Structure 1
C-alpha cells in the first residue's frame, strides 16, 4: 500500500484511570486496554479531534488490564501540558497499537535515554527480559524511571548512566561514554530508543565496534 493510500489509525475515546507524576515533569497516564498489543508497539494519542495526535510507546505489559504511557511535559508543546493536567474520568483519543519495534525472547541489549525506556519497560513487564541487558542514560538521578523494580529484577544486567549527577553503582557519563569504555561487545541484537542524536551516535559507535548493522534496531523519539 502506498504512502498516499495508507489509512491512518482511527482514534477512539478512552477514559483516563490514573495520572501519576513519577518525577518532576514526568507522568505515567493510564487507561483501560481494549486491544491486544505486542511489547514495543506504540499508539497515537490526542486530547481532542482538532489537533494532530502524537506517537507514544506503550509502557505496560501486554497482559495487564491497563495501558500506560510515559511522557515528559514539553513546556512549549500543546499536547503534554494538557495530558499532565488530566484527572481520572477525563477523555483521551487513542489509536489501536501498531509498530514494528518489537521485543523477542532472543538475547539482546536494550539501550535507552530518558523516556525512551518506555518500550523496554513494556517488554520487561511482558516477560521477555531474560538474556537482556538494559542500559539507561539520563541527566539526573531522579530520571531513572522504574529503577527499584528494574534493579531488583535485572541486577547487574541493569546499567544506569548519569551525565550530570553521581551516585554509587551509576556510571558517571553518557550512554556513549559507557559503550566507549567497553573493549568488546557480544554478538546479540541491539535495540536503541531515544532522541535522534543519541540513536545515530550509538548506532555509529556500535558499527565501529564491529556490530552488524542488521543487528541494530532503532526507535526514535521526537
Structure 2
C-alpha cells in the first residue's frame, strides 16, 4: 500500500510588532495581518527551518490590522523561550491560517482552560458573542487572560472557574465540577479548547450528561 506523504503548509516571514508579557510566563506576540481568517482558526509558527513549527490559535479579531498569538513559555521547550525573548523587528515564520474549529451564529457554549481561551477571544473580538456562554477554567486568578474585555462583552455568560485560588466573582473548582453541578445541559453546540486530558474529560462528561457527540467540537493544544 502506498501512503501519501503529509505536506506541511509553507511558512512565511513576519516581522514582530509587539511582544507583551500579560501574566508571568504568558505572552501575546503580534505581527501585521496579511491574510484573511475565520475566528477559531490556527497558524503554524516557527523560528527557523530546522525545527518543526508548533500550532497556535489566533486570538485577535479577523478585522484587526495585527494578528495576535497567545502563548505560555515552556522552559524546557525550544520554541516558546525564543518567542518570549523576541522584540519588535525580529522575524517569525508563520503559515497561512487553517482549521475547522469555527462557529456560527447558533447558540453555543465555549469551554476553555488556560491559554485555550485564545480562539474564543478571537470570536468575541470578531463580533460573534451573541447566544454564547464562555466557561474558562484556570488554576490561579492571574490566568484569566482578557477577563475585563470578556466580562464586558459577555456579562453573566462569562463564567470563571478557579481551582487553587478564590475570589468573590469566581466559582471555586475545575470546569468539570461546574458542568457536573448544572441541573440540565442545553441541547446546543459545545466547543472545547485545552490540553488533551481536559478535552477528553469534558467531552466524556458532556456525553454522559446527554449531549450528542456530533454537537461537541474540540481543539487540543500541547
1:5 & 1:74 partners in 2: Cα distance? Answer: 30
* Structure-2 residue corresponding to 1:139: 139
SS at match of 1:29: strand
Preserved CA contact (<8 Å) 2:106 2:131: yes
CA deviation profile, 1:52-105 (whole Å, cap 9, x unmatched): 100000010011111000000001100000000000000000000001111211
Preserved CA contact (<8 Å) 2:115 2:194: yes
* Structure-2 residue corresponding to 1:188: 188
* Structure-1 residue corresponding to 2:117: 117
2:147 & 2:103 partners in 1: Cα distance? Answer: 20
2:9 & 2:157 partners in 1: Cα distance? Answer: 36
Task: Count how many residue pairs are aligned between Structure 1 and Structure 2.
Answer: 221
Preserved CA contact (<8 Å) 2:124 2:153: no
1:7 & 1:207 partners in 2: Cα distance? Answer: 34
Preserved CA contact (<8 Å) 2:15 2:92: yes
Preserved CA contact (<8 Å) 2:39 2:123: yes
* Structure-2 residue corresponding to 1:67: 67
* Structure-2 residue corresponding to 1:19: 19
1:85 & 1:121 partners in 2: Cα distance? Answer: 24
Preserved CA contact (<8 Å) 2:28 2:69: yes
* Structure-2 residue corresponding to 1:172: 172
TM alignment of 1:24-63, pairs within 5 A:
24-63=24-63
Unaligned runs of 5+ residues in structure 1 are none
1:125 & 1:118 partners in 2: Cα distance? Answer: 10
Unaligned runs of 5+ residues in structure 2 are none
SS at match of 2:200: helix
Runs of 4+ off more than 6 Å: none
2:22 & 2:36 partners in 1: Cα distance? Answer: 26
1:50 & 1:7 partners in 2: Cα distance? Answer: 16
CA deviation profile, 1:161-215 (whole Å, cap 9, x unmatched): 0000000120100000100111101111000000011100001110111001100
SS at match of 2:39: coil
2:11 counterpart of 1:8? no
Distance of aligned partners of 1:181 and 1:188 in 2 relative to their CA distance in 1, 3 Å threshold: same
1:110 & 1:134 partners in 2: Cα distance? Answer: 5
Q: Offset at 1:6?
A: 4.2
* Structure-2 residue corresponding to 1:99: 99
1:102 & 1:156 partners in 2: Cα distance? Answer: 23
Computed over aligned residues only, the root mean square deviation of the Cα atoms, in angstroms, reads: 1.0
1:117 & 1:3 partners in 2: Cα distance? Answer: 36
Preserved CA contact (<8 Å) 2:14 2:93: yes
Q: Offset at 1:7?
A: 2.6
TM-score by length of 1: 0.98
